Structure 1
Amino acid sequence: MTTTMKLPGKTLPGILNPEITLKPLSANTLLINDATTSLHLSIYGTDRLVISPANSSDQQDRIPAHLMAAGLDYLYANHPMLEQIHLSPLLSERLEPESWLHAIDQTSGESINVRTGFYQNRTLWHWQNSSVLTPEIWTENSNGISHPLRPLQPSGVVYQRYDYQNDLTISFRSIDPEEDLATFHQWMNQPRVAEFWELAKSREELRNYLQTLLKDRKSWPLVGSINGEPFGYFELYWAMEDRIAPYYDCQPWDRGFHLLVGNPDFLGKRFSNSWTKSITHFLYLDDPRTGRLVGEPRADNRRLLKLLAPAGWSFVKTFDFPHKRAALVNGYRRTFFREVQL
């Protein structure tokens, strides 16, 4: 079966958000294309999986990073128990300088890509406007809270991934307070959403709410889409500047999110399995200094607590906010990349 995917925020010469296609030609060969380049891989091995150029004489001198990433993702997704992939010298010596090669097999001379390291590389899924991290410059907000200076929020699609397990393409983009206002208003005024969010307000009030968030680097409002159709709203935040910070041993790069699924067509285990893993993955990719994620849903929101578990989240404790009885939940980078299958 042919698979297609797009790269968020990436460009090739004259092409915005280039599309990649992956087509297995046999059980042992895989063809990967974008609009300008092809990568034809041979796959072999019994005790270990090895990939190599299928036609080395036709292989270009430099293999684009996004094609290599797409091939590795395809192989890991279709071999769930696979912990590493060996790359032949003919392949590894032609790779662009990326963090694909985590070790060397001293016996065969093959390079080794490790699953847990691969899924921390941002090439395939993250918008990557800059490969340079925001420096840790400390500042103080209007409430007197000291915290690192946070990056500006980008516009457009910031994460996109084809989910092989559920046969879905999931993406997140920054919300537009004009273009998305009607949908956001409709979602917030649904009784089942208003019960938890308490934002069943007018369009003008919600427009002001979003504009305030977009000006404040503490939070980042995103729209989640599945197969191109908006399904939910995600409000990301830096925990140190959030109300949750005093209730646990908060660290400078901890993050969290609030969420709602506004489109009822996307309720259900298949979809929740995809978006919980994807939003968690995005937050770890967005800044490698983020080692922990936290959340504080209402203690009686047992459905959400259950939905987060497949993405590596766990319950910590219940505690009292001034306005609600809350459950503290968290997830850890080391657990996610070791134990969660994307």
Structure 2
Amino acid sequence: MTFTFTPADPQAHAALLHGWVTREYARFWGMLGATEEQVRAELAGIAAHPHHEAWMGYDGGVPAFLMERYLPGHSPLAGRYPVRQGDVGMHLLVGPPDVPRAGFTADVFDSVMRFLFRAPGVRRVVVEPDIRNSKILALNERFGFRRAQLIKLPDKQAWLSFCTREDFARATEGVPA
């Protein structure tokens, strides 16, 4: 499956993303009670940050997911683990489908990881999912992430986890790039 990525635009995407982050399935994003203006402000803050980006993912021209890419040394992870050159952080939110499709989230995850590893300097993807988010923890493991340690962040208890290029390649062996 082929997805396209474009930078998220606070004005153009706030209403859509508000409809996603305020649904129960997105509770781990911590925005269930957010207003559309708060979502717009969050996107604007990301857009203004020199070490954090938000990307919209499209499936055949239809918005399908939001992916955030950030440098861990310039994030709440700074000082919580020894950041390596080539580390890149990632957050992912798949939008609610009009028609559920088996394997869709895995296809999105695979595409996001390939997108991140396309950058030549990226050696390892870093994630810090809430310890209660069993779905993303299982998906991370499926794609080669290894849990390193429990960490306390301002908004959650999280599993700091890493996936190297080699771990991802092993996990997706036989899957076309």
Q: What band does the TM-score fall into relative to the shorter chain?
A: 0.7 to 0.9
Q: Distance in 2 between matches of 1:321 and 1:268?
A: 33
1:269-323 deviations in Å (ceiling 9; x for gaps): 511221111111111112x221111110001111101112332222222222243
Equivalenced residue count is 173
Matched, 1:324 2:156: yes
Matched, 1:184 2:17: yes
Partner of 2:76: 243
Which of 96, 106, 123 in structure 2 is aligned with 1:291?
Answer: 123
Contact 1:277 1:310 in 2 (8 A): no
Which structure features the higher share of helix residues? Answer: 2
Superposition deviation, residue 268 in structure 1: 5.8
TM-score, normalization: structure 2? 0.87
Matched, 1:306 2:135: no
Q: Distance in 1 between matches of 2:82 and 2:99?
A: 35
1:195-232 deviations in Å (ceiling 9; x for gaps): 21122322222222212211112110111122322122
Unaligned runs of 5+ in 2: none
TM-score, normalization: structure 1? 0.47
Matched, 1:197 2:29: yes
Matches within 5 A, 1:66-105: none
Q: Distance in 1 between matches of 2:162 and 2:121?
A: 16
Partner of 2:63: 230
Q: Distance in 2 between matches of 1:303 and 1:257?
A: 16
> SS in structure 2 opposite 1:223?
strand
* CA shift in 2, pair 1:209/1:339, >3 Å: closer
Contact 1:273 1:310 in 2 (8 A): no
> SS in structure 1 opposite 2:2?
strand
Task: Read off the aligned partner of 2:7 and give its amino acid letter.
Answer: S
Partner of 1:77: none
> SS in structure 2 opposite 1:169?
coil
> SS in structure 1 opposite 2:83?
coil
* CA shift in 2, pair 1:306/1:339, >3 Å: closer
* CA shift in 2, pair 1:305/1:269, >3 Å: farther
1:61-89 deviations in Å (ceiling 9; x for gaps): xxxxxxxxxxxxxxxxxxxxxxxxxxxxx
> SS in structure 1 opposite 2:79?
helix
* CA shift in 2, pair 1:204/1:212, >3 Å: same
Matched, 1:261 2:94: yes
Matched, 1:271 2:112: no
* CA shift in 2, pair 1:308/1:216, >3 Å: same
Unaligned runs of 5+ in 1: 1-167
Q: Distance in 2 between matches of 1:318 and 1:265?
A: 35
Partner of 2:7: 174
Contact 1:231 1:266 in 2 (8 A): no
* CA shift in 2, pair 1:266/1:258, >3 Å: farther
Task: Read off the aligned partner of 1:326 and give its amino acid letter.
Answer: A
Superposition deviation, residue 338 in structure 1: 4.9
Q: Distance in 2 between matches of 1:320 and 1:335?
A: 25
* CA shift in 2, pair 1:313/1:207, >3 Å: same
1:42-62 deviations in Å (ceiling 9; x for gaps): xxxxxxxxxxxxxxxxxxxxx
Larger Rg belongs to:
1
Task: Read off the aligned partner of 1:290 and give its amino acid letter.
Answer: V
Task: Read off the aligned partner of 2:139 and give its amino acid letter.
Answer: L
Matches within 5 A, 1:134-213: 168-193=1-26, 195-199=27-31, 200-213=33-46
Contact 1:240 1:252 in 2 (8 A): no
Contact 1:181 1:207 in 2 (8 A): yes
Superposition deviation, residue 175 in structure 1: 0.9
Partner of 1:216: 49
Contact 1:230 1:263 in 2 (8 A): no
